[in-house]
């Protein structure tokens, strides 16, 4: 993941207006991201809405294209690369509107190269800590080969110790069970940072009406009790996992 600061001169003759991203924008954002192939978790509708208050996420969707604006953890205002056809004019307008320079974040190597070829770049920042882990779906489904020995061993251990388990699709029908799991989970592991506190509160609230979020998810139960869950969304050809929590007292879960 890369951020780049861009410089452009002259004053903007057009104004690009942004609005706060909310759940009512989910359909519009998903449509705008329908062909996005960057495979970054930050650039997905559900993730943007989940963290919208924390990162102060705003969106613009107009005749010149779709763009996202948010605050980074050091309160730098950043723009996520306009997705439709590398809209150079929109980038120029955004830079002019900001007084000559902007920060563009969540760039793929190809997008970063495009920016470098078309704009004056003052600086580039890359953080290994914010990389995503990407797997081939077939590998995760089959866990074939020595690389996945550890995962297979965990699964075998769990199935041996807790054979009385079920794997359920998350719906509003079992969402209350997951909410109770979260309350118990975080009761034993109190959040230590502002970010984890926000995530905790947001996750618990999310399961008040899980289905309205449109996410794909499953939970793991042992003897009727939730011991873990996972949910996410599909963007183009990639399933992006947004959250996974497990009670590690159940070995291998």
In contact, 125 and 103? CB cutoff 8 Å: no
DSSP characters over 117-176: HHSEEEEEEE-GGGPPP---HHHHHH--SGGGHHHHHHHHHHHHH--SEEEEE--TTTHH
- Record the pTM: 0.83
- pLDDT single digits (tens) 122-138: 988 888 888 888 999 99
pLDDT at 129: 83
pLDDT at 6: 58
User: Domains in the chain, ordered, with CATH?
Assistant: 2-130 (3.40.630.30), 137-246 (3.40.630.30)
pLDDT at 72: 74
Q: 32 versus 226: which is more confidently predicted?
A: 226
Helix (H, G, I), strand (E, B) or coil at 13: coil
Containing H/E element for 27?
Answer: helix 26-32
- pLDDT single digits (tens) 68-122: 899 876 777 888 876 654 578 888 888 898 888 899 988 888 888 888 888 999 9
- pLDDT single digits (tens) 11-70: 546 788 899 988 888 888 888 888 888 898 888 999 999 999 999 999 988 887 888 899
pLDDT at 98: 86
Total residue count of the chain as it appears in this document = 253
What is the distance between the alpha carbons of residues 61 and 45, in angstroms, rounded to a whole number?
14
pLDDT at 10: 45
């Amino acid at each position: 993941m890369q951020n780049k600061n861009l410089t452009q001169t002259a004053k903007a003759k057009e104004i690009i207006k942004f609005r706060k991203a909310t759940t009512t924008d989910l359909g519009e954002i998903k449509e705008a991201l329908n062909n996005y192939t960057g495979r970054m978790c930050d650039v997905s509708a559900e993730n943007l809405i989940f963290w919208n208050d924390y990162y102060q996420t705003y969106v613009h969707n107009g005749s010149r294209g779709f763009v996202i604006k948010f605050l980074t953890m050091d309160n730098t205002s950043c723009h996520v690369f306009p997705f439709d056809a590398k809209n150079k004019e929109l980038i120029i307008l955004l830079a002019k509107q900001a007084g000559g320079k902007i920060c563009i974040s969540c760039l793929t190597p190809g997008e970063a190269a495009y920016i470098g070829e078309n704009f004056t770049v003052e600086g580039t920042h890359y953080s290994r800590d914010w990389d995503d882990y990407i797997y081939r779906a077939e590998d995760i489904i089959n866990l074939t080969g020595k690389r996945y020995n550890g995962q297979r061993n965990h699964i075998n251990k769990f199935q041996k110790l807790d054979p009385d388990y079920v794997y359920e699709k998350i719906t509003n029908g079992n969402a209350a069970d997951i909410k109770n799991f979260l309350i118990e989970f975080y009761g034993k592991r109190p959040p230590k940072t502002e970010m984890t506190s926000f995530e905790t509160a947001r996750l618990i609230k999310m399961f008040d009406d899980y289905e309205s979020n449109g996410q794909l998810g499953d939970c793991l139960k042992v003897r009727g009790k939730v011991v873990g869950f996972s949910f996410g969304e599909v963007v183009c050809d990639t399933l992006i996992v947004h959250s996974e929590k497990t009670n590690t007292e159940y070995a291998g879960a």
